[in-house]
Copies of this chain bind each other. A is one copy, B any other.
């Protein structure tokens, strides 16, 4: 890790804590600079805007999350098991990232185009992963047969439902949920697509 990357990581780390405490808007570049022990204008040597800091933060978190999930999914033999693992780990990984996710959900309200397009981009990747998984599982005759275009609609709806349930569990903090209850939904989806 180069010196440059090290400082960038430091900025991200400090920004992350501040964003979680104050939210994106109420955190100023001055705040981030101070926490990093630098002058405000110095931040612009590493990032060209406040938005870019946030983007990089979310991107890095998301990549880390996807990476972890991917390792486990690849370890599974059957596609059912792969799908199950993908879904279950999505919840597990989201749990620890809930505070950041909350910022995204709450401060996205109004107009914020940046956040909307970021969430869209992230969802798109997840949809892509699921779609590919489905395709292979169908080829393998492990899942019911669906047309390609229908498969995409299904993947999209699953990702939407996933997000929504994560909001209920981790942001609205519905106490009725635990790992066991989450499995009910995962199984419901599995039963829905399995042969």
CA distance A161 to B163 in the complex (A): 11
Q: Mark A140-154, 1 if CB is under 8 A from B, else 0.
A: 000010100110011
CB-nearest residue of chain B relative to A156? B168
Q: Are B150 and A181 in contact (CB under 8 A)?
A: yes
Our pick among B149, B164, B177, B181 for the contact of A161 (Cβ within 8 Å) is B164
Whether A184 is near chain B, meaning CB under 8 Å from some CB there, is: yes
User: How far in angstroms is the closest Cβ of chain B from A30?
Assistant: 29
Stoichiometry, copies per complex: 2
Residue of B nearest to A161 (CB): B161
The answer to the question of A67 belonging to the interface, with a C-beta cut-off of 8 Å to chain B, is: no
> Is B153 a contact of A161 with CB atoms below 8 Å?
no
A contact face: mostly helix, strand, loop, or mixed? helix
Given known A160-B164, A164-B160, contact A188–B149 (CB-CB < 8 A) = no
Provide the residues of chain B in CB contact with A153, threshold 8 Å: 176-177, 181, 184-185
Given contacts A160-B164, A161-B161, contact A154 B109 (CB under 8 A): no
User: Contact partner of A149 among B146, B154, B168, B176, CB < 8 A?
Assistant: B176
Report the interface size for chain A: residues with CB under 8 A from the other chain.
23
Q: Give Cα A149 to B193, complex, Å.
A: 24
Asked if A37 is at the interface (CB within 8 A of a chain B CB), the reply is no
11 other A-B residue contacts (CB within 8 Å) besides A109-B109, A161-B164, A192-B192: A150-B181, A153-B177, A153-B181, A153-B185, A157-B161, A160-B161, A164-B164, A188-B192, A188-B193, A191-B191, A191-B193
Top 4 nearest A-B pairs (CB, nearest first) are A192-B192, A188-B192, A191-B192, A161-B161
